[in-house]
Structure 1
Amino acid sequence: MRLLKQTQHPDIINNTAETLLRNAARAIVLRGNDILLMYTHRYDDYSLPGGGVNQGESIIDALKRELHEETGAQQIEVMSEFGAYFELRPWNKAPFELVQMNSYCFVCNIADELHTPQFEQHEINNGMRPVWINIHCAIKHNLHTLATSEKKGISIERETFLLQTIVAELIKK
């Protein structure tokens, strides 16, 4: 899969510290200019549905599981690879100080109807919900959150970059 971007969080001083490797699968589901995203109230941002790959699980299986759990998507069909985003960022959960987060993004199709999501407790606590939104509106919202919010999450830069890349490459002008 092609590498879209590789970043290192600006707070990292020692990039040789004990590092956790975490792979994640993220879904791109488009309907014209609308995209299926996760809105997180706690951070006031939009992100691609997806999450961590469990030990022994393939990236595709993780993608389908996460997309189903977070959005209630049914009849998930992986159409193509889109690209990867690698980031080194603070972790601070013993014994690790850093996490190397490798996000693998795929273009998917799903059935029209979404069923009830199956959120984990932290997702409920953060006020996550799936939404169909115009991709340009989601980017504008995330850029505003980046510029003005003190509660923004660490992943908003990744998510905004991915949304902008999706527009540049997948949205018909």
Structure 2
Amino acid sequence: MRLLFEMDKRDYDNCTHRFVRNSARSIIIREKKIAMIHSLKYDYYKFPGGGMEGEESPVRAMIRETREEAGLVVRPDTVKEYGYVHRIQKSDKDATECFVQDNYYYLCDAENETVAQCLDNYEAMESFTLEFVEPHIAIQKNRNVRNSLHNSMMFEREARVIELLIEEGLL
């Protein structure tokens, strides 16, 4: 899979250990709008998807997480690799820990009918809502998030992936 870009803060010289948490995300486009999870509490957008569990493959994680977060049922026969973003920085929680994450993105289609979301506690608290959004709106929102518990690199990562999709004529 191709590397889309790296996000490296180079702030981890004093780290003594690494925490790796890879994730997989779906890119579902309909009528020039993109399926995104909107955090109503913090007003940001993210691609449906999340962390890989155990030995789970990125594709399986993406399909599972997209269903859980968005209620979208990915059609496995439509899944195509898009690329990944490599992120590395000092952990927000432990100054001795280096946080490393590869975020795998897949172009795919989903069934028209949605199913019930199955949200984690924090996702429910943030009121995760599926929206098919205009790309520029998601970019603008993510670059203006002010009050969130999440690391701002996540918002910028999603904005940059959307910009690449636009540049490559996919949106």
Letter paired with 2:112: D
Q: 1: CA distance between counterparts of 2:58 and 2:156?
A: 23
Q: 2: CA distance between counterparts of 1:75 and 1:104?
A: 15
Q: 1: CA distance between counterparts of 2:80 and 2:90?
A: 31
Counterpart of 1:103? 103
Which runs of at least 4 in structure 1 moved beyond 4 Å after TM superposition? 92-96
Q: Give the paired residue count.
A: 168
Counterpart of 1:72? 71
- Alignment TM-score, normalising by the size of structure 2: 0.87
Which stretch of the first structure deviates more once superposed, 73-82 or 124-133?
A: 73-82
Counterpart of 1:153? 150
2:161 is the alignment partner of 1:162 = yes
Letter paired with 1:59: P
Deviation at 1:106, TM superposition (A): 0.4
Counterpart of 1:5? 5
Counterpart of 2:91? 91
Counterpart of 2:129? 129
SS at match of 1:87: strand
Deviation at 1:120, TM superposition (A): 0.6
1:170–1:80 Cα change, 3 Å: farther
Q: Is the Cα contact below 8 Å between 1:92 and 1:98 reproduced in 2? A: no
Q: Determine what percentage of the aligned residue pairs are the same residue.
A: 26
Q: Is the Cα contact below 8 Å between 2:14 and 2:96 reproduced in 1? A: no
Q: 2: CA distance between counterparts of 1:142 and 1:94?
A: 25
Deviation at 1:96, TM superposition (A): 6.3
2:61 is the alignment partner of 1:62 = yes
SS at match of 2:91: strand
Letter paired with 1:113: E
1:75–1:97 Cα change, 3 Å: closer
- Alignment TM-score, normalising by the size of structure 1: 0.86
Deviation at 1:102, TM superposition (A): 0.6
Gaps of 5+ in 1: none
Q: 2: CA distance between counterparts of 1:132 and 1:71?
A: 11
Letter paired with 1:25: A
1:108–1:139 Cα change, 3 Å: same
Q: Is the Cα contact below 8 Å between 1:86 and 1:101 reproduced in 2? A: yes
Deviation at 1:75, TM superposition (A): 4.6
